[in-house]
Structure 1
Amino acid sequence: MLEFTGSEHTDRRTLFVEVVLPLGIAINYTYRVPYDLNDQIAVGKRVVVQFGKSKIYTAIVAGIGEQAPEKYEAKYIIDVLDAEPVVHQRQLQFWAWIADYYLCNIGEVMNAALPTALKLASETKVELNKEYPVDKTTLNDREYLIVDALELQPELTVNDIAKLLGQKTVMPILKMMFEKGIINISEEVSDRYKPRVRTFITLNPIYRDQDQLRELFGILEKRAPKQADAVLAYIQLSRSQKTISKSELVEASGAGAAAIKSLIEKEILFAEEKIVSRLVHDADDLEANFELSPAQQTALDEIKQGFEQKDVLLLHGVTSAGKTQLYIRLIEEMVNSGKQILYLLPEIALTTHIVERLRKYFGNAIGVYHSRFNDNERVEVWQKVLSGQYRVVLGARSSVFLPFKDLGLIVVDEEHENSYKQFDPAPRYNARDASIYLGHMYGAKVLLGSATPSFESFYNAHNGKYGLVKLTERFGGVEMPLIEVVSITEETKKKTIQSHFTSVLMQDINNALANKEQVILFQNRRGYAPIMLCKICAYTPKCINCDVSLTYHKSSGKLHCHYCGYKEDSPNICPACGSTQLEYKGFGTEKVEAELKLLLPDARIARMDLDTTRSKNAFQNILNDLDEHRIDILAGTQMVAKGLDFASVTVIGIISADSLLKYPDFRANERAYQMLSQVSGRAGRRGKQGKVVIQTYDPGHRVIQQVIAHDYVDLYNTEMTERKNFKYPPFYRLIEINIKHKDPEILHHQAEALARDLRKHFDDRVIGPEYPLVGRIRNYFIKTIILKFEKDNISMPKVRATIKDVITQFNTTKLSKGSVIQPDVDPY
């Protein structure tokens, strides 16, 4: 990376900048700085550059120097966009670490890190050449249409013109028109971020005199009664608030925008536009006046002592132990010391739930950051973190990329959750692991919290790499929930099961409803029915793009692919044999909701899954309804299992535990225990012992018995023996390489060749290639190569560098044509 050593720029010094482009290129590009921009250039600022023949991109300056590139002639940067850097030097170092560790390019990290609105939009703009008199009689039909359109609308994009002409390729036509001098073509960079502007109203100071105001009011009442209403409303609002927006005045007065506009034109009212935050919430001055229990206080003291010895601590606390209160106390201390805090959560649903609790203690000093925010909101959070205005940031995994100035503490709640892992696109990072490196860079402390820790974290804690603090009792002395396992097989034989609900579960639901209590039902599959099946020929509709069966969604009446989004109408006649005997097999959350409404018509039932929470505020609306007791029964996928805390939820039903247990994955038992324990922990959190009903075909399964006994340690010990024997984490590191191609035969040869190249370096550590569980997604066939590396006596940086070299060399061969290779470090 280039470094500029001088402290001041000389006007005529020839400077070169190394930039990070938002592209998957292996090496950063170097550009020359025009002399007149020398004083504006700085590391972390955005610059506009041309890359390729015509494309314009926004890049981040990563280094400054005076050495020209040897292999190519450096182009000039076009412009500098920022007065101050938008990215810190430490962030660039963090990006470089992510790219190195997760085997991707730094441009891919930039794409993931920066809000979309900070990556400017490049579009080819076309306009008429005003200096050229157009003789329309010389134009052909297509040229005539384009000129005609540009006379009506001065500027069009290439996409606009393609739609106008009804053809995809229009560049040859535009090139010809450009050469004739008819049009101008330019690549224009437009900034997507637009600050939120509101109009605020003030009364002309001359009307502060009561006599003047009384005279004005009398005139307006006679001539313009609506304007009089607006002035009266302004006076009333001004008694209770310092600033009055135009929209507030329109609403309070009922006078309409035209009346306000007339008052502004008469200079009775003054209007001023101001940039305001999209993110401000009403400040809540409640004090953090809760008291910790003796067990919590002991745990807090141990955490503080542990941080004196270790930079990373694991807090192993049972569900409902009050871990959030410990986080609040630690955050308070860090805020008082002037440091910033990052509080990571695995699900967007949790951020909306927990932020309301945290705002009670930190008001508007807390920012929230996740993918459901729009571009403008994300940029605003970015800027407030950059300026230090936000001391506490609560967010999902992408929050690790925010521009912290002085990070002092990172809390990773529910650290075991798979949601911290980014799968597609690159970088395929794990936010928990990345946050540990981020904490190391800033000298910050990292607290990992979970009732069911990941085996890697628990292993590191027991080996002394991390500190370990335990919290073994629930807050307020509430007992752990009573867990009852019910055999679906037995109830089916006795014919006591109703639809998918055993008699035990139905009885507990009815008791809860009679006592005005609430119920959460968990089914780890969305949709109505996973499979449609012909009873005559066993035909099952499959996705046209992926090797999966389509899931029926009753709400849309269509069959959906949950991998690529493909949809088709649900057939009434089997397309294979013509039979009308089609039936649905299995069930998802949509069917659970529908059948409960038939069985319990008076109950208020809602559903929480990906389908019902697509809109920005859907999570919050459902959680608010549950909190305010407008929902009696909430059915949902794993979203309902994580971190929700509601006083009246006393019954939890796990509709089918077998879908978690019978899964071909070395982590299946670990994840099944975590999911079952977490969802069970939602019951009886405030004063009253809860009840959990687990429905299964295999009541004697070892993991279910460990869940009943709340025996995480027994699960850990049992699983770790198998992990060691079969070379799995935490004893070994895994790197997965997926190779994709649209032709399965070519893919076979490519995957075998790549595996051979890897075996030259890593011998029997290379396993595969094999087809994964789903062997085709989005029309790409997939083969997977897995590499297993022991933790001792091997250099993982060298391993990653070798893998990168092997893939690069493979991509230079003719055999690699059409392939897509995706390395994934720590894939599960």
Structure 2
Amino acid sequence: MHSPLFANPSSEHRFVDIILPLNLPQTLTYGIPHEMQGFLQPGMRVEVSLGKNKQYAGVVERVHNEQPEAYQVKPIKGIIDEEPIVNIKQLQFWKWIAHYYIAAPGEVMQAALPAHLKMMGETRLLWAPEHEDVVYDWSYDALRAVEILAVRKELSITDLRSIVGGRKFMAVLHELLENETVVIDDSLESSYKPKKEKIISLAAKYNEEPELIKLFDELQRAPKQLELLMGYVQLSKQKGFVRQADLLERTQASAAQIKSLADKGVFIIAEKEVDRLLYEGVDEQKEIEFTPAQQKAYNELNAGLSEKEVVLLEGVTGSGKTLLYIHKIKEYLASGKQAIFLLPEIALTTQLVGRLRAYFGEELGVYHSRFSNNERVEIWEKVQSGKYRVVVGPRSALWLPYNDLGLIVVDEEHDGSYKQKDPAPRFHARDAAIYLGALHGAKVILGSATPSIESLFNAQNKKYGYVRLNERYLGVQMPQIEIVNATSLNMVRQQGVRLLTPELQQAIAIALKEKKQVILFQNRRGYAPFQMCTSCGWVPQCKNCAVSLTYHKITDKLHCHYCGLKSPVVHTCAYCGSNSLVSKTFGTEKIEEEVQQVFPKARVARMDIDSMRNKQSLPQLLDQLGKQKIDILVGTQMVVKGLDFATVGLVGILSADSLLSYPDFRVNERAFQLMEQVSGRAGRADGAGKVLIQVYNLQHPVLKWVKDHDVHGLYHQEIKYREQFGYPPFSRIIKIIFRHKEEPKAIQAAAEMANKLASIEGIGIQGPAPALVARVRNLYIQEVWIKCPQSVRVLEHVKSFIKEERLRMTGERGFSSLQVVFDIDPVG
């Protein structure tokens, strides 16, 4: 922390509103000590105490002179930053997110700031005996703690509790304090640690060429040391500096051998702070050449952006929308602005970054949850300083400290992954990007091959500009789509094949023969979504959640996809005792196994959340796909989103019926988007792509729209239905979720809220009703859905009403553990 003594004491501002990283309904006001006045600015972090001297690092939202009447203010204890780490526009953005999505300011702060900028506060015990010469008569439990403290010199309260156990903890702590052997330190410290590495340099005298030649001659009799010196000279010429780790890798030497050269006065070893995000890229940046169709769309995009703040770019899969984005970003960078390139998934980020580096070089930053906390702090600082002028990433990229934002691109704007589900703030990144753009006076491009109904509606009503690019890059044909009757599976089941129709098997064989890659899409992970007893119909359920358990062959266990529970495989029915348990339906693991059986020579890989848990799993898989080391890729929704490989010739959708029967008003829209997007992975280079959709319900209208790539046929049908039943975009929806360990209390609370809401005119109420999964982690879940008209006044009234009701409910006796969660504009 920095001393505030250089502050200007003449300022009249005596109070600050602080955002604390807690679920508090509002900011808290603290006093500014006289000697700190004139220095504090919004966006700085300060140290404050709350409750019984618990220390927190908060962010200053406002500096003012308005003394609260309701309570006596405490003074802030210290100032952490010399300069704000959060800028004014970020604070305004946080405030809007908290207000619109009914989140606590502290919940927004927790989501927005990298962990290491939130500081760490935990009481520590420092070993400082008052009387060094006294021999203490310690109890057995205290002696264990004392022995560790004497060596380590400090312990956190958490460490002490784990050493002596919860029951003895208070007694031991009291004993340590009574004997005056420890002092309590409650200060805050940053958990961000700069990366330090050992950097090797030559002693100054060897910078002279004659001395260096002489040194080479002297080391002729020490071949390993000579190799180290040669390696040093080569690395120094390539990079300008030499990391010890690189020198060791280059020469296969040991650290002891480097040290021996240092002892001789040849090398100097210094520990220095280094950049975790070292970029080794191309020196020359690529130029962009448009096709006539792209040039026409680009001209229309420019015209749209000159008239509107937001433009919807609808471009069929493989049309080259990315090139339009890149060209537009380059224009904004040339005018000194920053840009954001939002993507719905990390998977897309991983593949796209390599392409973007060729256009933006070192000015490109990447931000997502796969980075370590330390790396995220460094990215934050590079955006703040302006070193990164383009940032690509999923929804978290919106939180970074942009100073001069000119353009935001939201690619695949229809994607449900843009909506944060848990924890709060449950914001929609597409809508938040539009607000952030307005704050900065920036333009926003929404891009998709399958735009959301809401965005198409806004374009049709001239709220957004609209550009359509309906031709694939270089005129490549759209893939041929074939609907396959899934009843033909009955013909091959006696051969041991359960998942691939004869038509799909034949198509895969032809694609493999032509050296084309194949993608098989199934919207479920695991080996078999559930087991079932054929005698009585019993299905193994999670003991914590109201869902069936999914079998994963890789672990040979039943998994709960909601709470993470893993259970042994069941061989005997718990209800009737029968051992006739069978697997029903199928997941990606099962498909992978069957494909390998049918095509034993094919190289098969799987892409789902289970197989991609490791940080390097995704980049490695994409690299193998790009080098054609994988013939058949089996995956869930991850394969749908933007994978761009020229040699993919066939896409198979294995169970389209599961996409068409989900209980949600967006089911047709979602099914169309998924099938159209995954279809778009085929034939992107040569137009010789083929898509097979296995389905039982051949008459479903979505199938015709997918076959014809007809986004607007879907739109015109859906918009009539939405208007008739009052769904978005003709209303705003709020979902209220009630969770309680006792089901009657969850039902009672939900019913009470629904009854109270009935007094508000002009809104529609659905529920209360159990959630689709009615119990998760031993909490029963009830839901109430509210349809609000497109009126800001009514929406604000409803939000204010439900916030007050939540406060009243959770304050009632017996309901303190009730969880009431608000989800504004839910996506399903």
TM superposition score normalised by structure 2: 0.96
**Residues 795 and 294 of structure 1: is their aligned pair in 2 closer, same or farther, counting only changes over 3 Å?**
same
Out of 302, 305, 313, the residue aligned to residue 304 of structure 1 is 302
Same amino acid, percent of matched pairs: 45
**Correspondence 1:720 to 2:730:** no
Contact 1:410/1:444 (8 A) holds in 2: yes
Cα separation, 2, equivalents of 1:462 and 1:14 = 50
Partner of 1:49: 48
Aligned with 1:643: secondary structure? coil
Aligned with 1:772: secondary structure? strand
Contact 1:528/1:589 (8 A) holds in 2: yes
CA offsets, 1:165-211, max 9 Å, x none? 23367245414532442322222423121122233222223123344
**Correspondence 1:550 to 2:558:** no
Partner of 2:60: 61
**Correspondence 1:236 to 2:234:** yes
Partner of 1:453: 451
CA offsets, 1:331-376, max 9 Å, x none? 1101101100000000100000111111111011100111111101
Structure 1 counterpart of 2:198, one-letter code: T
Structure 2 counterpart of 1:809, one-letter code: R
Structure 1 counterpart of 2:610, one-letter code: D
Cα separation, 2, equivalents of 1:459 and 1:684 = 31
Note the residue ranges of structure 2 that are not aligned, 5 or more in a row.
1-5
CA offsets, 1:534-582, max 9 Å, x none? 2223221111111000000000001000011111111233333333222
Cα separation, 1, equivalents of 2:825 and 2:270 = 54
Cα separation, 2, equivalents of 1:96 and 1:169 = 45
Partner of 1:109: 108
Contact 1:706/1:714 (8 A) holds in 2: yes
**Residues 496 and 321 of structure 1: is their aligned pair in 2 closer, same or farther, counting only changes over 3 Å?**
farther
Aligned with 2:773: secondary structure? coil
Structure 1 counterpart of 2:435, one-letter code: Y
Partner of 1:158: 157
Contact 2:108/2:424 (8 A) holds in 1: yes
Partner of 1:38: 37
CA offsets, 1:499-539, max 9 Å, x none? 20011111111111111110001000000001111222322
Partner of 2:395: 397
Cα separation, 1, equivalents of 2:191 and 2:605 = 37
Out of 344, 354, 364, the residue aligned to residue 366 of structure 1 is 364
Structure 2 counterpart of 1:189, one-letter code: L
Cα separation, 2, equivalents of 1:280 and 1:253 = 22
Partner of 1:187: 186
Shifted more, 488-497 versus 752-761: the winner is 488-497
Contact 1:604/1:632 (8 A) holds in 2: yes
Contact 1:102/1:429 (8 A) holds in 2: yes
**Residues 593 and 493 of structure 1: is their aligned pair in 2 closer, same or farther, counting only changes over 3 Å?**
closer
Cα separation, 1, equivalents of 2:146 and 2:621 = 53
Partner of 1:3: none
Aligned with 2:123: secondary structure? strand
Structure 2 counterpart of 1:20, one-letter code: I
Cα separation, 2, equivalents of 1:789 and 1:67 = 36
Aligned with 1:148: secondary structure? helix
Partner of 1:376: 374
Cα separation, 2, equivalents of 1:491 and 1:266 = 76
**Residues 368 and 169 of structure 1: is their aligned pair in 2 closer, same or farther, counting only changes over 3 Å?**
farther
Partner of 2:195: 196
Contact 1:608/1:637 (8 A) holds in 2: yes
- Deviation, structure 1 residue 617: 2.0
- Deviation, structure 1 residue 643: 0.8
Shifted more, 762-771 versus 671-680: the winner is 762-771
Aligned with 1:579: secondary structure? coil
Contact 1:560/1:567 (8 A) holds in 2: yes
CA offsets, 1:440-472, max 9 Å, x none? 100000000011100000000001111111111
Aligned with 2:409: secondary structure? strand
Cα separation, 2, equivalents of 1:159 and 1:724 = 56
Cα separation, 2, equivalents of 1:25 and 1:494 = 60
Cα separation, 1, equivalents of 2:271 and 2:730 = 61
Shifted more, 558-567 versus 538-547: the winner is 538-547
**Residues 593 and 61 of structure 1: is their aligned pair in 2 closer, same or farther, counting only changes over 3 Å?**
same
Contact 1:560/1:566 (8 A) holds in 2: yes
Q: In the comparison of the two structures, how many residue pairs are matched?
A: 821
Structure 2 counterpart of 1:25, one-letter code: L
**Residues 445 and 210 of structure 1: is their aligned pair in 2 closer, same or farther, counting only changes over 3 Å?**
closer
Contact 2:363/2:389 (8 A) holds in 1: yes
Out of 328, 349, 352, the residue aligned to residue 351 of structure 1 is 349
**Residues 766 and 407 of structure 1: is their aligned pair in 2 closer, same or farther, counting only changes over 3 Å?**
same
Contact 2:49/2:76 (8 A) holds in 1: yes
Partner of 2:28: 29
**After the TM superposition, which residues 123-138 of structure 1 pair with which residues of structure 2 at under 5 Å, given as runs?**
123-133=122-132, 138=137
Partner of 1:671: 670
**Correspondence 1:208 to 2:204:** no
Out of 281, 284, 298, the residue aligned to residue 283 of structure 1 is 281
Cα separation, 1, equivalents of 2:169 and 2:422 = 33
Partner of 2:314: 316
Aligned with 1:440: secondary structure? helix
Aligned with 1:773: secondary structure? strand
- Deviation, structure 1 residue 83: 2.0
Shifted more, 788-797 versus 297-306: the winner is 788-797
Structure 1 counterpart of 2:287, one-letter code: N
- Deviation, structure 1 residue 316: 0.9
Aligned with 1:698: secondary structure? coil
Aligned with 2:68: secondary structure? coil
Cα separation, 2, equivalents of 1:28 and 1:592 = 52
Contact 1:533/1:539 (8 A) holds in 2: yes
Partner of 2:249: 251
Partner of 2:414: 416
Partner of 2:821: 822
Contact 1:12/1:35 (8 A) holds in 2: no
Partner of 1:4: none
**Residues 201 and 141 of structure 1: is their aligned pair in 2 closer, same or farther, counting only changes over 3 Å?**
closer
Contact 2:7/2:39 (8 A) holds in 1: no
TM superposition score normalised by structure 1: 0.96
Contact 1:14/1:35 (8 A) holds in 2: no
Note the residue ranges of structure 1 that are not aligned, 5 or more in a row.
1-6
Structure 1 counterpart of 2:258, one-letter code: I
Aligned with 1:775: secondary structure? strand
Structure 1 counterpart of 2:259, one-letter code: K
**Correspondence 1:73 to 2:72:** yes
Partner of 1:524: 523
Aligned with 1:274: secondary structure? strand
Contact 1:196/1:277 (8 A) holds in 2: yes
Contact 1:158/1:170 (8 A) holds in 2: no
Partner of 2:572: 573
Partner of 1:434: 432
**Residues 813 and 763 of structure 1: is their aligned pair in 2 closer, same or farther, counting only changes over 3 Å?**
farther
Cα separation, 1, equivalents of 2:20 and 2:662 = 41
Cα separation, 1, equivalents of 2:247 and 2:140 = 54
Partner of 2:559: 560
Cα separation, 2, equivalents of 1:14 and 1:437 = 30
- Deviation, structure 1 residue 706: 1.1
Cα separation, 2, equivalents of 1:580 and 1:597 = 28
- Deviation, structure 1 residue 228: 3.0
Partner of 1:742: 741
- Deviation, structure 1 residue 758: 2.1
- Deviation, structure 1 residue 712: 1.4
**Residues 461 and 257 of structure 1: is their aligned pair in 2 closer, same or farther, counting only changes over 3 Å?**
same
**Residues 159 and 168 of structure 1: is their aligned pair in 2 closer, same or farther, counting only changes over 3 Å?**
farther
Contact 1:485/1:695 (8 A) holds in 2: yes
Aligned with 1:760: secondary structure? coil
CA offsets, 1:45-99, max 9 Å, x none? 1112222213221110111124443322322322222221110011111111001
Partner of 2:260: 262
Cα separation, 1, equivalents of 2:629 and 2:298 = 36
